[in-house]
Structure 1
Amino acid sequence: MEYAAPADDLKELVSSFYWFRADIEETQQTERADRAQFRFLLEGSGGYEFSDGVYMDSAKITVIGPTTGPTIGHVKGPIEIFGAGLQPAGWGTLMGAAGEQYSNRLIDATAIFGNGLLDVFQTIKMAKTMEEKVAIGNEFARALLRRAEPAPFWFTRLVDKWLTSSASPDINDLIEESGLSKRQVERLTKRFYGAPPKLLARKYRALRAASRIVRREEADGEAVEDAFYDQSHLIREIKEFTGITPGQARKAPPELIRAVAEHRRKLAGKVDPLISDA
C-alpha cells in the first residue's frame, strides 16, 4: 500500500491517491466507512458488499459513492488497484445532483464518462512507479473535473471546518454559520457527503477514534471522555462505521484498515486534517 497527496490545485477535489497490490488468491477485506472513491482495478476481480447487504461487482474502472458503514471487498487475486479518494467538492463536481443516489453503491465509470477512460486505465497500468501513476492521476483528475460545473467550495469548506471543530459538533452551529435552513443544509450534505449532518458527524467522530486506537495514539478512556457518552457508546459507534470493535482495532485490526490508518497519518500536513486524522 502506498499513499500520496494530490497536486495543490486539486486538494479540495481529491483527498489522496493510493496504490494497493497483494499477491493473494480469494479473500475478503473490510473497508471502513469512507469518502467516495474512483478506482482502477488494474489486476484481479471482485466486488463490494455494502453495509445494507447489497453486493455489486466491480468494473475495471469504478466510482464508489460515499459509504456510511463498513464495506466488504470480495477479491480474487492477485490484486492491484490504483485509486483516488474524492473530496465532497470533487464528488459533487463529478456526479452533480445525481450523486446522492450512489451513497453505499458503485457504478461503472465508463457508463458515465465513456470508454475513453480505458486509455487512461492502460496508461496507469503501464506506469512503473507511484510517482508516475500520481502524475497521470493528477492530469486525469484535472481533465475530468474541469468538464463539470464546480461544486460550492464555500459550503464544503464550512462543513469540513465544522466536522473538525469539536469531538461532537453541533448541527445548530453549522446551520447558523451557513445562513441556510436546516432542510437546505441537510439536502446539501446528502448531495456532497452522502449523509445528513448528524450521521456525518457520527461517522467522522467514530473514524477519528478508531484511527487513533489502531495507531495507538491515545487510550480508549480519552476517546470516551472527549467524544462519547461511555464505553458502550464508543464500542457501538466504532463498530457501526468500521465493522470492528475498539478491542479488535487495538489488538488485531484488519490489515487493510490498519494500513489505511497508518498511511493516511503519514500525509499529515500535506492534506486536510479530516483526511489524515480519520
Structure 2
Amino acid sequence: MINVQYQAPTEQLQQLVSSLYRFDYSGHALREVERADRAQFRIMLYGQGSYRFADGNEYPTYPVTVIGPTTRPFEAIASGPVSIFGWGMLPAGWAALMGAEAENWIDKAFDARRIFGDTIMDLREELIALAEPAAQFALGEAAAAEIYRNLDGAPFEFTAMVDRWLVDDSDPDVDVLIAESGLSPRQLERMTKRYYGMPPKKLSRKYRALRAANRIAHGDSLDNSDLGLAFYDQSHLTREVKQFTGLTPGQLRAGTSKLTTATMMGRSALGGKVSPLISDS
C-alpha cells in the first residue's frame, strides 16, 4: 500500500520548496513510475531501493538523496517496505543549494553527503527518532530553512517570471517569455537550462503535459478546453503525456500507477496554498 502525505511550505520557504512530503510503502517488492518532476531532496527513514532513469542508469537510494530535475519518467524500485521524508526543490532552491547548472544534473541522483558531509546524517537520525509525520514536517521545515540560509545569487526574479509564464497560458509561447525577459533567445535558453535543466520550449511542453495529466487523473475532460486545444489531436496528447509521465491518458484515468495517482491527488489538495504550477501539475 502506498501513502503520501503532503504539506505546503512556510512563507519563508515558498520560493525555494514546492512541498514537503512523507512517502510510505508497506508492501513487498515495489516498482512504480515517477513522472518527470522538479529536483527532489529525499531522506530515507527506513528501507532501501533504487531509481532507474530513462537513460538506463540506476542509482541506489542513499540515506539522503538529491535527485536533479527530471525530463522523463523514471522508476522507483524497492524490495520491501520503505519510508521517505522529502521535499521538492524549486529552481531557486536548487540554485541556493547547488550553485550549479541544473542541466548537468538532469535525470541523475547523488548522495547528499557529497555536499554536506556526514552532518546531514544527523537530520536523518532526528527524523527517524520523531516517527510522527507532524513532528517530522516541523523539523523538516526548520532544516530546509537552515539549508537554504545562503540565498546570495538565488534567481528569484527570473524564476518567478518563468513560473508565471508557465501558469498563465495553456500553451506558453517562448516568444512571449523572450519579450518579457528582454533576453535574446540564446540567453534565455542558457538561463532556463541553468535553473530548470532544460530549454524553455521543452519546459513548456513538460508542464503542459503534466497539467493535462493531472486533469485526466482527476477524471476531467479536456474536450474544448484551452488546455485540450493546446494539443494538435488525441495522438499528440497521448504522446506528450506519456513522454513526461510514462502513462497513457487511459492508464491515468484507471489509476494504473498508484504512486502517480497519490502524487497528483496529494499536490492538488494543496491548491490555494502553493503555486498552481505545483498543485495543478
State the TM-score, normalizing by the size of structure 1. Answer: 0.96
Residues 1:8 and 2:7 are matched in the alignment: no
The counterpart of 1:263, out of the listed 266, 269, 276, is 266
The counterpart of 1:84, out of the listed 64, 87, 99, is 87
Moved over 3 A (4+): 219-225
Give the equivalent residue in structure 2 for 1:201: 204
The counterpart of 2:38, out of the listed 35, 57, 73, is 35
Give the equivalent residue in structure 2 for 1:161: 164
Distance 1:164 1:34 in 2: 16
Pick closer, same or farther for the CA change 1:244–1:223 going to 2, 3 Å.
farther
The counterpart of 1:116, out of the listed 105, 119, 125, is 119
Residues 1:48 and 2:51 are matched in the alignment: yes
Residues 1:146 and 2:153 are matched in the alignment: no
Unpaired segments ≥5 residues, structure 2: none
Unpaired segments ≥5 residues, structure 1: none
Give the equivalent residue in structure 1 for 2:238: 235
Partner letter of residue 264 of structure 2? A
Distance 1:65 1:94 in 2: 12
Secondary structure at the aligned position of 1:146 is classed as: coil
Please state how far the C-alpha of 1:223 moved relative to its aligned partner. 6.7
Secondary structure at the aligned position of 2:48 is classed as: strand
Please state how far the C-alpha of 1:128 moved relative to its aligned partner. 2.9
Deviations 1:98-153 (A, max 9, x none): 43311100110011111100000011111232221111111111111113534111
Secondary structure at the aligned position of 1:115 is classed as: helix
Distance 2:235 2:102 in 1: 34
CA contact (8 A) 1:67 1:103 kept: yes
Partner letter of residue 70 of structure 1? P
Question: RMSD across aligned C-alpha pairs, in angstroms?
Answer: 1.4
Partner letter of residue 213 of structure 1? I
Partner letter of residue 143 of structure 1? E
Partner letter of residue 114 of structure 1? G
Give the equivalent residue in structure 2 for 1:189: 192
Partner letter of residue 49 of structure 1? R
State the TM-score, normalizing by the size of structure 2. Answer: 0.95
Secondary structure at the aligned position of 1:164 is classed as: helix
Distance 2:94 2:13 in 1: 12
Matched pairs, number? 278
Deviations 1:63-117 (A, max 9, x none): 0000011010111221000010001110111111243311100110011111100
Give the equivalent residue in structure 1 for 2:73: 70
Please state how far the C-alpha of 1:224 moved relative to its aligned partner. 6.4
Identical residues among aligned pairs (%): 48
Partner letter of residue 146 of structure 2? A
Secondary structure at the aligned position of 1:244 is classed as: coil
Distance 1:150 1:143 in 2: 17
Give the equivalent residue in structure 2 for 1:251: 254
Give the equivalent residue in structure 1 for 2:128: 125
